[in-house]
Structure 1
Amino acid sequence: MTDTRICFIGDSFVNGTGDETMLGWAGRLCALAQRNGHNITYYNLGIRRNTSTDILQRWHEIALRQQPDCDNRIVLSCGVNDTTLENGALRVEFETSLQNMRALFARMQSSPGLVIGPPPVDDHAQNQHIQTLSNAMQIEAEKAGLPFTPLFDALVQDQAYLTEIAQNDGAHPTSTGYNKMTRLILNSGKWWF
Structure 2
Amino acid sequence: MRICFVGDSFVNGTGDETALGWVGRVCALAYAHGFPITSYNLGIRRNTSADILERWENECSLRLPAGCDNRVVLSCGVNDSMLEDGALRVAPEQSRANVHAILRAASRYPLLMVGPPPMPEDAQNEQISALSRAFADEAAALGVPFIELFSPLVADAAYKQEVASNDGAHPRSSGYTKIANIIASSPNWWFHALL
- TM class by smaller structure: over 0.9
Q: Give, in angstroms, the shift of residue 112 of structure 1.
A: 0.4
1:138-153 matched pairs, under 5 angstroms: 138-153=136-151
**Partners of 2:30 and 2:161 in 1: how far apart?**
30
Letter in 2 for 1:57: E
Aligned residues: 190
Partner of 1:12: 9
Letter in 2 for 1:168: N
Q: Give, in angstroms, the shift of residue 5 of structure 1.
A: 0.1
Question: Which of 86, 89, 92 matches 1:94?
Answer: 92
Unaligned 5+ runs, structure 1: none
Give the secondary structure class of the aligned counterpart of 2:37. Answer: strand
Cα shift readout 1:45-69 (whole Å, capped 9, x = no counterpart): 0000000000000021000000111
In the TM superposition, structure 1's runs of 4+ consecutive aligned residues that sit over 3 Å from their partners are none
When normalised by structure 1's length, the TM-score is 0.97
Q: Give, in angstroms, the shift of residue 192 of structure 1.
A: 1.0
- Percent identity reads 58
**Partners of 1:29 and 1:98 in 2: how far apart?**
26
Letter in 2 for 1:39: P
**Partners of 2:154 and 2:140 in 1: how far apart?**
23
When normalised by structure 2's length, the TM-score is 0.96
Cα shift readout 1:85-121 (whole Å, capped 9, x = no counterpart): 0011000001111110110110220110110000001
Question: Which of 24, 29, 32 matches 1:32?
Answer: 29
**Partners of 2:34 and 2:186 in 1: how far apart?**
21
Unaligned 5+ runs, structure 2: none
Residue 181 (structure 2) pairs with residue 177 (structure 1): no
Instruction: Please give the root-mean-square deviation of Cα atoms over the aligned residues, in Å.
Output: 0.6
1:12-161 matched pairs, under 5 angstroms: 12-59=9-56, 60-161=58-159
**Partners of 1:17 and 1:34 in 2: how far apart?**
22
